């Protein structure tokens, strides 16, 4: 059964916090050119004073510094703020702060990872259109380093500015403009278990190092990805026997404008047969690594092994989700502690690997 892609929206409640230095993107020496002029003409440019532009740069620099900081350090740095809790009120997921940005008073929020340090800083901006804010960011940092103009299924487009360690991403969704600040070690790159949730004895398995044309063709067809976007869509995969029948299946995660949102990416499970990839099931809101348990979830010989993944982002509190196989289809359920779970972590680069995109192939490779 094919699942529809769920595009997680940005958090309505935003947060900020603490210590650890993330360098801000270097300012461009040149002007912002015709892109800014066009954006201003379409969307009423922000008429900021020099002081307000300096204030905006300073606020973004301070917010970037929060990435990787603890709750206590964050609160001390920003003068307290307000604790932000999950919907059931049982778990603190970050803090809310008010900062001056783009000449506005903006609510900013931090989102913590499993280790309790700041993973993301998000700001819901006052105007519904992102273009005026993008024009200011071009003045401050130059042209964006990456742009996605094709709306995801959730309707989001974005442009982002990079520094060595971090990134500033400006989102445009339906009637919503928002900023998201993160480290430049995305879940879709080589970093393995940045949140530290994997059990200590679990073997880490890196993605395969050769492109798989049959898989690439199946991905393009499954998600209706036009040829113009193939270069912007990457897949990573591992071979894994999920029911101990001796047949190597494939689990692949797909990152790109047609398959990803702020809550994670899409994934496919299937196998090769006669040179074709046979699709068994699709998944959404997937973040790597994926823990494949040693034992079948039902305890039976040749039963399906469980898959455990960590969900976060898009305003959701971090949680572990366990997929169990029922009648040939994986179904999600809340995961209990994985401290005693044994198995392998797939799509996971070895600890210390720092090459972004290792094992990630754009769709055109081999097609």
132 domain-assigned? yes
Whether 152 and 243 share a structural domain? no
Using CB atoms within 10 Å of the CB of residue 200, give its burial: 0 to 12 exposed, 13 to 18 middle, 19+ buried. exposed
Tell which of 127, 152, 183 closes a domain.
183
Q: Computed from CA positions of residues 26, 27, 30, 32, in that sequence, does the dihedral angle turn out positive or negative?
A: positive
Top-confidence residue, 20 or 169 = 169
Which residues lie closer than 8 Å to 50 by C-beta, 6 or more apart? none
Query: Could you tell me the two tokens for 292?
Result: 């494949």
Whether 208 and 357 share a structural domain? yes
Query: Could you tell me the two tokens for 187?
Result: 């879940």
Whether 128 and 274 share a structural domain? no
Question: What's the average model confidence in pLDDT over 264-290?
Answer: 93
Q: Looking at residue 169, what is its pLDDT? A: 92
Give the residues across from 117 on adjacent strands: 70
Query: How confident is residue 317, by pLDDT bands cut at 50, 70 and 90?
Result: low
23 domain-assigned? no
Q: Rounded mean pLDDT of the chain?
A: 79
Looking at the structure of the chain, the number of domains it has is: 2
Q: Looking at residue 361, what is its pLDDT? A: 86
Whether 122 and 51 share a structural domain? yes
197 domain-assigned? no
Q: Tell me which of 38-42, 182-186, 339-343 is least confident.
A: 38-42
Whether 240 and 299 share a structural domain? yes
Indicate the SS3 state at residue 53: helix
CB 177 within 8 A of CB 158: no
21 domain-assigned? no
Question: What's the average model confidence in pLDDT over 148-158?
Answer: 71
Whether 273 and 174 share a structural domain? no
Tell which of 183, 213, 242 closes a domain.
183
17 domain-assigned? no
Question: Residue 157: which domain range?
Answer: 33-183
Whether 159 and 267 share a structural domain? no
Q: Looking at residue 88, what is its pLDDT? A: 74
Whether 169 and 217 share a structural domain? no
298 domain-assigned? yes
Whether 146 and 287 share a structural domain? no
Question: What's the average model confidence in pLDDT over 78-101?
Answer: 87
2 domain-assigned? no
CA diameter of the chain = 70
pLDDT per position as a tens digit, 236-274: 999 999 888 888 999 999 988 889 877 788 999 999 999
Top-confidence residue, 221 or 14 = 221
Q: Looking at residue 341, what is its pLDDT? A: 86
Whether 286 and 155 share a structural domain? no
State residue 113 phi and psi, 5-degree precision.
-90, -175
Whether 40 and 104 share a structural domain? yes
16 domain-assigned? no
Top-confidence residue, 367 or 230 = 230
Cis status of the peptide bond prior to 289, with omega within 30 of 0: yes
Whether 207 and 179 share a structural domain? no
**Do the strands 203-204 and 343-346 form a parallel or antiparallel pair, or are they unpaired?**
parallel
| DSSP H/E element including 332 | strand 329-334
pLDDT per position as a tens digit, 197-213: 888 778 888 899 889 99
CB 234 within 8 A of CB 216: no
């Amino acid at each position: 059964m094919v699942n529809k892609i769920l595009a997680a929206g940005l958090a309505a409640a935003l947060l900020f916090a603490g210590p650890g230095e993330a360098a801000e993107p270097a300012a461009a020496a040149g002007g912002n050119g015709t892109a800014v002029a066009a954006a201003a003409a379409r969307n009423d440019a922000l008429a900021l004073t020099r002081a307000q532009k300096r204030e905006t740069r300073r606020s973004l620099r301070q917010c970037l510094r929060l990435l990787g900081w603890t709750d206590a350090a964050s609160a001390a740095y920003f003068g307290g703020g307000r604790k932000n809790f999950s919907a059931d009120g049982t778990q603190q997921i970050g803090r809310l702060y008010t900062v001056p940005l783009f000449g506005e008073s903006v609510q900013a929020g931090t989102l913590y990872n499993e280790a309790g340090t700041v993973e993301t800083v998000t700001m819901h901006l006052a105007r519904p259109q992102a273009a005026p804010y993008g024009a200011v960011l071009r003045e401050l940092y130059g042209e964006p380093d990456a742009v996605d103009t094709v709306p995801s299924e959730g309707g989001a487009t974005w442009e982002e500015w990079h520094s060595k360690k971090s990134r500033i991403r400006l989102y445009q969704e339906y009637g919503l403009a928002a900023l998201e600040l993160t480290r430049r070690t995305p879940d879709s790159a080589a970093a393995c278990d940045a949140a530290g949730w994997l059990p200590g004895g679990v073997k880490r398995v890196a993605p395969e190092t050769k492109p798989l044309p049959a898989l690439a063709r199946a991905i393009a067809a499954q998600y209706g990805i036009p040829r113009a976007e193939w270069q912007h869509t990457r897949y990573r995969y591992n071979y894994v026997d999920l029911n101990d029948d001796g047949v190597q299946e494939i689990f692949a995660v797909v990152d790109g404008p047609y398959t990803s949102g702020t809550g994670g990416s899409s994934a496919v499970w299937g196998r090769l047969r006669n040179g074709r990839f046979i699709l068994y099931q699709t998944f959404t809101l997937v973040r790597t690594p994926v823990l494949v348990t040693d034992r079948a979830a039902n305890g039976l010989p040749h039963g399906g092994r469980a898959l455990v993944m960590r969900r976060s982002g898009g305003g959701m509190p971090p949680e572990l989700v366990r997929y169990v196989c029922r009648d040939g289809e994986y179904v999600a359920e809340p995961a209990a502690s994985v401290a005693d779970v044994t198995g392998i972590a797939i799509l996971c680069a070895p600890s210390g690997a720092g090459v972004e995109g290792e094992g990630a192939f754009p769709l055109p490779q081999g097609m």
